[in-house]
Amino acid sequence: MKYFISAILIFSGLVVHAQTNDRIKVACIGASITYGARIENREQNCYPAQLQNMLGSHYQVTNYGVSATTLLRKGDYSYWKTKQYRDALADNPGVVIIDLGGNDAKLVNRIHLDEYEQDYKDFIHSFTQLPSHPRVILLSAMACFLKDTAGIWDPVIVNQVNPKIQKVAYDGHVEVIDMHSPFINKEANMPDKLHPDKVGAGIMAQNVYRVIGQERDRDYDIFKSLEMPLKQSSFYGYECADFTFNGRDCKIAKPKFAAKGHPWVWRARFWGHEPQTDIALLQQGFHIVYYDAAELLGNSEAIADWDSYYKLLRKAGLAKKAVLEGMSRGGVYAFNWAALNPEKVACVYVDNPLLNIPSWAAQFINKLGAKDDMFLAFKKDYNLTTDSDIMNFRGSPVDKVKQIVKGKYPILILCADADEEVIPQENTLLFEQKVKALNGNITVIHKPGFKHHPHSLPNPAPIVDFILKETGYVTKS
């Protein structure tokens, strides 16, 4: 099914939009959160109204929210049966934003959840078959802090409803925006633990605005540019290609529509682990890529392989400079490559990173009979035979700070202050001290009391904002 038809470029550059006096019509479909329930002066402060202010006079945003409604046809109050649904269709909009799913998580509606995906596909089709062929954007259900398991319950949203929304987006080739992560730590902005207040509605509007307001390259498709066999699957609603290059497993998750300039994130290790930052950047038009050189721990062979993969990605049309992302030992891969390729790095984000290998390796030397596959691989990778060789190893990122600082790329580190696997004082804090001594650009976000796991942040906004700022993709209203 074809969801988008384009003939001209208007702002976001994606579709032919229905217009009134050159204003692009935006239909906000949803339940009470869209309606603005419990928000003071909701007509001015609900998320569609705030979105209107952000988008400006070139857009006409209409609020079609109806409290308590479901996406399910058999739901206790189905949106399909409302006048607002009929009015939205009759308006022939150019952009349709759908936020339906929270009420489907109620106990009374869960018995019909096996019909949710087909109902959603049919709902989308009712709009895409309109003469305007609108751009359709799905919103995942927002975080909920209610404890009544018979009502709207967050575990059902997380484990059932939102995965179905992602699958519908993938199957239907439409856009999806994660609204759960941005609110996972915003209970204070949800006075009744369910509906956002004015500030929360603003957060919602900002996340939608970032997607609508950013210029995209609708014609770019990296999968076609690669010209090789690809096995495709869904990565949280986005198309992901698995393929082999130079005998190594590779992955690329692509946005629905690439941002201009084709920015990308190179995840060094642990594909798909704590993916919230990657998902948020896919929404912003970034590609997420991976090259599996796991056992090489950033040695010369790994660097050579990464160099070859970089050339392939550049030939396929990705931007000259990559965002490097590394969790744990991924910090070694990211910085060892960045130290030798400063002109190819936009910025670096690492998370509880291993930056001082001898510090980590000492535990296996000091514990008689201790064995670890990574430790054994490290010795092999760098041809180290004695304890002295290991403790005098000087190929870690902390030993390459001069090269790294010369690159002048900004660095963000997330550091769990109680990390028991990668000791902060011997890794992040030592690295930070050395970088600052050379006037390097580094920011460290501390996580007091946290251990090595979990990585990232439940709400990745600080990480995402850093990357968007340092790559020049901040969308200003």
- Residue ranges per structural domain of the chain: 19-213, 222-356+396-471
Q: Which CATH architecture has domain 19-213?
A: 3-Layer(aba) Sandwich (3.40)
- Name the pLDDT band for 370 (thresholds 50, 70, 90): low
Domain 222-356+396-471 listed as CATH 1.10.540.10? no
Check whether 232 has a pLDDT greater than 50: yes
Average pLDDT, rounded, for the chain:
93
Indicate the pLDDT class of residue 21, thresholds 50, 70 and 90.
low
pTM comes to 0.92
- Give residue 19's pLDDT: 52
Q: What are the beta bridge partners of residue 187?
A: none
**What's residue 369's pLDDT?**
56
User: Is 222-356+396-471 in the same CATH topology as 19-213?
Assistant: yes
Output the pLDDT for position 10.
36
**pLDDT value, residue 474:** 84
